[in-house]
Amino acid sequence: MEFEPVIGLEIHVELSTRSKMFCGCRVAFGGEPNTRCCPVCMAHPGALPVANEKAIEYLARIGLALNCSIPGRSIFHRKNYFYPDLPKGYQISQYDQPFAVDGYLDIMAGNEQTTVGIERVHMEEDTAKNIHAGAGGRIAGALYSLIDFNRSGTPLVEIVTRPDIHSPQAARLFLNKLKNLLKYLDVSDCNMEEGSLRCDANVSVRPAGSGELGVKTELKNMNSFKHLEKGLAKEIERQVELLEGGGKVVQQTVHFDFATGEVTPMRSKEFAHDYRYFPEPDLVPVAAGSGFVEKIRAGMPELPGARASRYIQEFGLPAYNAEVLTSSRELSDYFEEALHHFDDARALSNWLMGELLGYLNATGGELADCLVKPRELGGLLEMISSGKISNAVGKDVFAEMCKTGKSAGEIVKSRGLAQISDEAELAAIAGRVIAANPAQVEQFRAGKGKVLGFFVGQVMKETGGRANPQVVNRVLREKLTG
């Protein structure tokens, strides 16, 4: 039997606001433990939460960018459970009246546009961080545990999709597109390794073509795109095998082990919670009137789709180039910055997509770490277009720029790579080459025009590739026919 996977994602995004969700402590990653905490985020007796307005604005941006509707009123709930990283003994979250609902995000999965529904987007707070000493950092067998409250109360947005995703690849594409969108919105670092973007998945399988949903499992805390895709594939495989063998999928939480590539169920006791949600009496409802929503809408950063259209209209870029360039906020920002230093958008986009992305792909590097800054790339392209260096030399220079971080000008100067366009100098070299190859001269004069390429090559060889090809062509033609 053919099975179809059904996947829904739950994504947690730590917002990059200046202060925490319910107190004035700074938001940052890491740092000396317990240096960014106060009576509120350590839940001292009598302390009360105050909602961070900026976080609500960021939340609204996310809701709008995901095409959600924003009800005029939403409220916070308390989600009750005991754990040492949860100082109040409850998490302030949202329950049946979330901030934004019923949105969608389109992805291109296998050349096909798929609409992934967004069920809800809501606001909550992050927990503190437990650090278990000994036993490889795990709680089981740990000697003791420490708690760092620096993260406690960091604004956290939860995005829940509908079960509209049908392959691990599509899940990865969705998460990637969402991450890119969040970057454009300027609301989070989206750093999966540091945990500012986290993803859980609800997975089930069903006979292909069936309209029913199968029993789902929850796959926890994937910390990279790769792990998300792998973990999902593994869990789908497990469920299909189970069903094909006549077994049943049990609703439970499963854990994907990156090291072994296996999925293992967690003990049911660990997630059998009754959270006893009830409205948070310490916080007044979040009133998102139409005025507020319109203000946020008016202040929204330019999103990838709008940016791509602008590239097509304003710079005359092909649609494909526009889409590639806007597929990441960093690349798009890089492009626009470089454009200040080199104004041929089309040539620039070709270079970015060919050379720069090629280099990053080959080395597995990140654009943010690339030693070639937009200004320097603009400088290089300017040298090529003005004829100072040839395109071929340009590629070499670029490779060196990537390695050393030096400017194109410096490299060209120190290595003497400037293009030779001086007619007299090239005529002299051409003369020597012609004199040394009488047989080829004979062939040319007999009408074999292709031999010209041989002479060009020889001149290039003599000049270490620095000769201006147009000038060389002209000079050779003159000498050979003259």
C-alpha angle with apex 170: 169 to 175, nearest 5 degrees?
Answer: 100
Q: Is 209 in the site for other proteins (CB under 8 A)?
A: no
Q: Is 39 in the site for other proteins (CB under 8 A)?
A: yes
Q: Is 147 in the site for other proteins (CB under 8 A)?
A: yes
Tokens of 18: 């200046």
Per DSSP, the residues of 178-210 read: HHHHHHHHT-----TTTTSEEEEEEEEEEETT-
For residue 349, the one-letter residue type is S
Q: Which residues contact 173 (CB under 8 A, 6 or more apart)?
A: 107, 108, 109
**Interface with other proteins (CB under 8 A), residue from 26, 73, 226, 276:** 276
**Interface with other proteins (CB under 8 A), residue from 46, 209, 211, 447:** 46
Tokens of 101: 């609902």
Number of residues engaging other proteins in binding (CB under 8 A): 29
Please identify, using beta-carbon distances, which residue of 275 and 454 lies nearer to other proteins: 275
Query: For the chain, give me the number of helices (H) and strands (E)?
Result: 16, 15
Q: What's the rounded Cα separation, in Å, for the pair 393 and 374?
A: 19
Q: Is 281 in the site for other proteins (CB under 8 A)?
A: yes
Q: Is 146 in the site for other proteins (CB under 8 A)?
A: no
Smallest separation, CB 21 to other proteins (Å) = 13
Smallest separation, CB 20 to other proteins (Å) = 14
Q: What's the rounded Cα separation, in Å, for the pair 381 and 459?
A: 24
Q: What's the rounded Cα separation, in Å, for the pair 334 and 346?
A: 14
Tokens of 137: 């950092």
Nearest 10 degrees: CA dihedral of 240, 242, 245, 250? Answer: -130
Smallest separation, CB 25 to other proteins (Å) = 13
Q: What's the rounded Cα separation, in Å, for the pair 77 and 96?
A: 9
Please identify, using beta-carbon distances, which residue of 90 and 315 lies nearer to other proteins: 90
Smallest separation, CB 128 to other proteins (Å) = 10
Q: Is 282 in the site for other proteins (CB under 8 A)?
A: yes
Residue 79 backbone phi and psi in degrees, to 5: -110, 110
Q: Are 1 and 244 in contact (CB under 8 A)?
A: yes
Q: Which range, of 88-96, 289-297, 428-436, 463-471, touches other proteins by CB under 8 A? A: 88-96
Q: Which of 159, 132, 233, 111 is nearest to 11 (CA)?
A: 159
Q: Is 78 in the site for other proteins (CB under 8 A)?
A: yes
Q: What's the rounded Cα separation, in Å, for the pair 104 and 63?
A: 10
Please identify, using beta-carbon distances, which residue of 104 and 277 lies nearer to other proteins: 277
Tokens of 273: 């919670």
Quote the longest CA-to-CA distance of the chain.
101
Smallest separation, CB 163 to other proteins (Å) = 23
CA 117 distance to own-chain centroid: 21
Please identify, using beta-carbon distances, which residue of 47 and 418 lies nearer to other proteins: 47
Please identify, using beta-carbon distances, which residue of 40 and 430 lies nearer to other proteins: 40
If DSSP codes are grouped into helix, strand and coil, which group holds residue 219? Answer: strand
Place of tokens 């293992």: 264
**Interface with other proteins (CB under 8 A), residue from 4, 33, 43, 427:** 43
Please identify, using beta-carbon distances, which residue of 142 and 360 lies nearer to other proteins: 142
Place of tokens 């960093």: 330
**Interface with other proteins (CB under 8 A), residue from 5, 8, 63, 87:** 87
Q: Which range, of 257-265, 274-282, 445-453, 460-468, touches other proteins by CB under 8 A? A: 274-282
Q: Is 482 in the site for other proteins (CB under 8 A)?
A: no
Q: Is 278 in the site for other proteins (CB under 8 A)?
A: yes
Please identify, using beta-carbon distances, which residue of 140 and 424 lies nearer to other proteins: 140
**Interface with other proteins (CB under 8 A), residue from 274, 314, 366, 369:** 274
Q: Is 283 in the site for other proteins (CB under 8 A)?
A: yes
Q: Is 90 in the site for other proteins (CB under 8 A)?
A: yes
Which runs of consecutive H residues, i.e. helices, occur in 44-160? 53-65
**Interface with other proteins (CB under 8 A), residue from 31, 72, 89, 289:** 89
Please identify, using beta-carbon distances, which residue of 15 and 42 lies nearer to other proteins: 42
Site residues for other proteins per CB under 8 A: 39, 42-51, 78, 80, 82-84, 87-90, 147, 274, 276-278, 281-284
